[in-house]
Structure 1
Amino acid sequence: MPDIKNILFIMTDQLRWDYLSCYGHPHLSTPNIDRLAERGLRFDRAYVQSPVCGPSRASFYTGRTVFSHGSTWNQVPLPIGELTLGDYLRPQGVTTAVVGKTHMVPDKEAMARFGLNESTDIGCLVSQPGFDPYERDDGLHPNAGLARRGGKLRYNDWLRELGYEGENPWNDYANAGEGPDGEILSGWYLQNSNLPARVKEEHSETAYMTMRARQFIEGMGDAPWLCHLSYIKPHWPYVAPAPYHDMYGPETLLPVIRDASERVDPNPVYRAFMDMQVSETFSRQGVRETVLPAYMGLIKQIDDHLGRLFDWLEQSGRMDDTMIVFTSDHGDYLGDHWLGEKELFHEVSVRVPLIVYDPRSEADATRGTVSDAFVEAIDLVPTFMEATGAPPAPHRLEGRSLMPLLHGLAPGDWRDAVFSEIDYAFYAAREILDVGPSEARGYMVRTDKWKYVHFKGFPPQLFDLEADPDEFNDLGRDPGYETIRQQLHRRLTDRLIDRKNRVGMTDESVLATRAGESASGIIIGVWEPGA
């Protein structure tokens, strides 16, 4: 089959899998993302390698688990030797650029050791990581943080050109509301989430990133490209511009998924996360009712802008040679299970939407259908490589290409479980538990029926997803389920052991080395010539 020429890799930040109409939300209409699902394949059981921005994205970009690549949290650099999407696709002539967020930081210590800096071509690629720089913006720019990084942000420059005043319009306009006397009310405070952003809708982050993605695509002409359009929203600050800030009322909110029984003698790690301030805040009456309309409005805004982008791709003929992928880096608890943020392994945190549109006729059999195959974030790199004709790298990549599923050829040996992990050393939960930074680890394996979570140094969690789909009844310490826990622990151990760590040599080279030993004159254990 012909290779895919271009790839539009769309990622939202902190978008739950169940907050799109094509995934069943009864009140949040997302017709343009739904339209993509009607033209492609929607995966119903897609999971991230870690429910935190940085490590999740590192796995999306490398095709390797966090356990393997080592970027375990947002500020932990991806080691300089790890290959990413750009490294795999650039030899195919594909320009691989990011528009928006990656939440990755460079391995500056290793760069210095090798005499690299960001002003050189190779140093720039290594620091990005592996993407050709275009419009990098991680979307976290409070005044103090921006000043610490030198005060530079292209989006701020653009806003100032439009008349938004001050050193940091991102903070004071795009992510803030306004009080009755004109005072700036910061979007960092959840009580202000129901206010409209001070920025015009057409000047918001979502509008800007969509515009920049189109400009990148237009600028590429006929040359092949991968554009990673990485939206900053609906991640906090939960502030939406008018008219999106108040489109949704209380009657449109999904019921909260939590039960009083979860607070009775919970798993110690789970209890520690429930005791964190963000969880206590989201468990208070009225917080969800203030935040969720903004969260939903931000999703609706993304859908509207994607609709215009998809229309332009259609009109320009690029839908015919462009693969389009839509996903998220993780979910958002939003008060479910008495938690805020993400981090732990309930479905609302670790499960994400994933839609793939393949323009080729080979994918016609699956258009508009839904796959219940277990897929993981690490599957996208090998998918993109196969789509563009890049040579496979099974000695490095731990995911599997989705191409057979896209073309209706379900492999008999497809995985029957998914894996995720968390390094919670950076959270107050670790301090509450009084454990060291290297001990604050958790690992999840999920099958059709069971979800098992191993916390280092603490009891595990176990959920029967058939009998308890809301994950209220933790069987992790129930003596009647010891055999099940042991079986799932072995599965988890097998997954960790199966990591790809011989990354410097292919399997073919291993076999060739073995076969060439005698020819090279190396003789081991032979008694006499001719024996």
Structure 2
Amino acid sequence: MNILRYLIIAIILIIGTHHEGVAQDNTVKERDARPNILLVFVDDLDHEPLGFMGNEIIQTPNIDQLAAEGVAFRNAFAVTATCITSRGTLMTGQYAARTGIYFDQFDGFTEEQAAMSFPAQLRQSGYHTGYVGKWHLGRFREGMFDDDRAYDGQGQFWSEAYPPERGSHLTDRLGNQAVDMIHDAPAGKPFAMTVGFKAPHVQDGFHPVEPYPASPATAVLYERDEIPAPPLSDSAFFESQPDFLQQSLNRVRWDYRLGPPESLNFQRSMRRYYRMVTGVDRQLGKMMQALRETGRLENTIIVFTSDHGMYLGDRGFAGKWLGHDTAIRIPLIVRDPGLREAEVGTNREQMVLMVDLLPTFLDWAGLSPPEEVQGSSFAPIVGGQDPPDWRSEFFYEHHSFADRIPRSEGVRTERYKYLRYLDSEPLYEELYDLKKDPDESNNLADDPEYADLLRQMRDKWEQWQKEVQ
């Protein structure tokens, strides 16, 4: 049914472009006036190490400028904190429970999933679509991109073709490709481009000595800076967690990537992580300049976000996957040149999700999402509206690599968080009052005073399990 729907849309568009006279001119002018869309999609970027978020050490002037010229969402979340799964959610606007896109259970998009992706739908409606960088969703991209510069797999910051002494760092190369793609975009039609940075994701192979190999352009930054200890990074808190969490992949990677906050390894790794973030920031600046040079900046909506958050020593972990806000909260900035002056440089508190990006992109293009899409457009919120029926809670799920990462599901409301570890025996649950305990340090699941709330959150979880299918 979906493929037939898209075929009908394509036929209508073709017929519309062959009308003669004034009707044809009006159609073209209306279509061409739609904004360009540039999505900068970063990998493993925690929402806190950014200048505009109050970090006084890291240098992110271009990201900060983007926030100052647009709006920043303070409550944006991934619905699964895994690279592949989150990308599947981005492209389809659906939870993994519906798409079946899990890290260890995914061979590539089906034709139907590719057809309903936001690039395919925008392309059918007349957009020039392009992709640069880390794809991580298999090889099937047929019909999605006019300009396809994606690469498969994780990618290497330094490779045999581009070793440090002979070539550029992957982040720099992707930035250069993005600039070229902006310059190469055809005149007379809007474009929708995605730039997928690998940084600041750890080096493929999880190298124990150099997990975050930064570009030489940023190699001396932060050398004298002392990176502060993250929340709940003391050994006492880690040891208070159940054994299956202490033995998970999050802790295994902590051992060789980070270590205690006072250790030399922690400081070295975090400084290099910061350098990788600054490297991405510099490429954003180059893309902004390319938009200015081509006269497209003031007709381009720029979205900057990440696939999920990161444990950077929080709770004694390194990685993502679990449902604490550290792992699921994402940075989200939207620079819309159509914003009213009073809205520029402001924050948005509404709860927005990865599933919302597809319907938002379609909304900006004057399109409606397919019925299967589970997100909602936040375009009105960008513009300063406060929809009365906007969500106040969402479902979280993680089902990949169950032998190394505990499978979990849960519900996050504006005030409370409930997490449930599906394979734990006896069942292990977490319940937090986020207003009183934003770091999620005090598990209330066994507190008799919160027994009624625990039952309510369990009920929400059961209902959400059905709704996301």
Structure 1 contact 63–378 (Cα < 8 Å) conserved: yes
Structure 2 contact 182–291 (Cα < 8 Å) conserved: no
Does 2:16 correspond to 1:16? no
3-state SS, counterpart of residue 420 of structure 1: strand
Q: Distance in 2 between matches of 1:46 and 1:38?
A: 18
Q: Which deviations, in whole Å up to 9, do the C-alpha atoms of 1:159-210 show, x marking residues without a partner?
A: xxxxxxxx8235xx25xxxxxxxxxxxxxxxxxxxxxxx566xx21111111
Cα drift, residue 267 of structure 1: 3.6
Q: Distance in 1 between matches of 2:331 and 2:428?
A: 30
In the alignment, residue 425 of structure 1 is paired with which amino acid? F
Over the aligned positions, Cα root-mean-square deviation in angstroms equals 2.4
Find the counterpart in structure 1 of residue 131 from structure 2: 98
Does 2:410 correspond to 1:380? no
3-state SS, counterpart of residue 225 of structure 2: helix
Find the counterpart in structure 2 of residue 314 from structure 1: 292
Find the counterpart in structure 1 of residue 96 from structure 2: 66
Q: What is the TM-score with the length of structure 1 in the denominator?
A: 0.74
Q: 2:149 aligns with which of 135, 148, 153?
A: 135
Q: What is the TM-score with the length of structure 2 in the denominator?
A: 0.83
Find the counterpart in structure 2 of residue 168 from structure 1: 160
Residue pairs, 1:131-530, within 5 angstroms = 131-132=145-146, 134-138=148-152, 140-141=154-155, 168-170=160-162, 173-174=163-164, 198=165, 203-222=168-187, 223-237=189-203, 238-249=212-223, 251-258=225-232, 259-273=234-248, 276-281=251-256, 282-284=258-260, 285-361=263-339, 363-393=340-370, 395-425=371-401, 427-429=403-405, 441-457=407-423, 458-499=427-468
Q: Distance in 1 between matches of 2:445 and 2:147?
A: 46
Structure 1 contact 445–452 (Cα < 8 Å) conserved: yes
CA spacing shift, 1:399–1:364, aligned 2, 3 Å: farther
3-state SS, counterpart of residue 397 of structure 2: strand
Q: Distance in 1 between matches of 2:436 and 2:166?
A: 47
Q: Which moved more, 1:409-418 or 1:259-268?
A: 259-268
Count the aligned residue pairs: 420
In the alignment, residue 382 of structure 2 is paired with which amino acid? L
3-state SS, counterpart of residue 44 of structure 2: coil
Q: Distance in 1 between matches of 2:272 and 2:452?
A: 45
Cα drift, residue 252 of structure 1: 4.2
Select the structure of larger CA radius of gyration.
1
Q: Distance in 1 between matches of 2:72 and 2:286?
A: 21
Q: Distance in 2 between matches of 1:348 and 1:392?
A: 30
CA spacing shift, 1:275–1:247, aligned 2, 3 Å: closer
CA spacing shift, 1:405–1:385, aligned 2, 3 Å: same
Q: Distance in 2 between matches of 1:236 and 1:347?
A: 20
Q: Which deviations, in whole Å up to 9, do the C-alpha atoms of 1:275-325 show, x marking residues without a partner?
A: 742133333433211111111011112112211221231232211211100
Q: Distance in 2 between matches of 1:216 and 1:327?
A: 20
3-state SS, counterpart of residue 352 of structure 1: coil
Cα drift, residue 95 of structure 1: 2.5
The 4+ residue runs of structure 1 with deviation greater than 6 A are none
Structure 2 contact 363–379 (Cα < 8 Å) conserved: yes
Cα drift, residue 213 of structure 1: 1.2
Q: Distance in 2 between matches of 1:274 and 1:47?
A: 22
Q: Distance in 2 between matches of 1:16 and 1:328?
A: 8
Structure 2 contact 104–401 (Cα < 8 Å) conserved: no
Q: Distance in 2 between matches of 1:386 and 1:411?
A: 15
Cα drift, residue 456 of structure 1: 1.1
Structure 2 contact 138–152 (Cα < 8 Å) conserved: no
Does 2:74 correspond to 1:33? no
Structure 2 contact 239–246 (Cα < 8 Å) conserved: no
CA spacing shift, 1:199–1:461, aligned 2, 3 Å: farther
3-state SS, counterpart of residue 356 of structure 2: helix
CA spacing shift, 1:326–1:275, aligned 2, 3 Å: closer
Q: Distance in 2 between matches of 1:23 and 1:199?
A: 36
Structure 2 contact 155–198 (Cα < 8 Å) conserved: no
3-state SS, counterpart of residue 322 of structure 2: coil
Identity %: 28
Q: Distance in 2 between matches of 1:494 and 1:204?
A: 47
Structure 1 contact 47–351 (Cα < 8 Å) conserved: yes
CA spacing shift, 1:483–1:303, aligned 2, 3 Å: same
Q: Distance in 2 between matches of 1:417 and 1:236?
A: 31
Q: Which deviations, in whole Å up to 9, do the C-alpha atoms of 1:5-53 show, x marking residues without a partner?
A: 3110001111110011111111112111111111111001110021110
3-state SS, counterpart of residue 373 of structure 1: coil
Structure 2 contact 395–409 (Cα < 8 Å) conserved: yes
Q: Distance in 1 between matches of 2:153 and 2:240?
A: 38
Q: Distance in 2 between matches of 1:275 and 1:357?
A: 34
Q: Distance in 1 between matches of 2:298 and 2:244?
A: 49
Q: Distance in 1 between matches of 2:402 and 2:198?
A: 22
In the alignment, residue 178 of structure 2 is paired with which amino acid? A
Q: Which moved more, 1:318-327 or 1:420-429?
A: 420-429
Cα drift, residue 105 of structure 1: 1.7
Structure 2 contact 108–138 (Cα < 8 Å) conserved: yes
Q: Which deviations, in whole Å up to 9, do the C-alpha atoms of 1:444-481 show, x marking residues without a partner?
A: 32222211111213311112222222222222333432
Give the gaps of 5 or more residues in structure 1: 107-122, 143-154, 157-166, 175-197, 430-439, 502-531
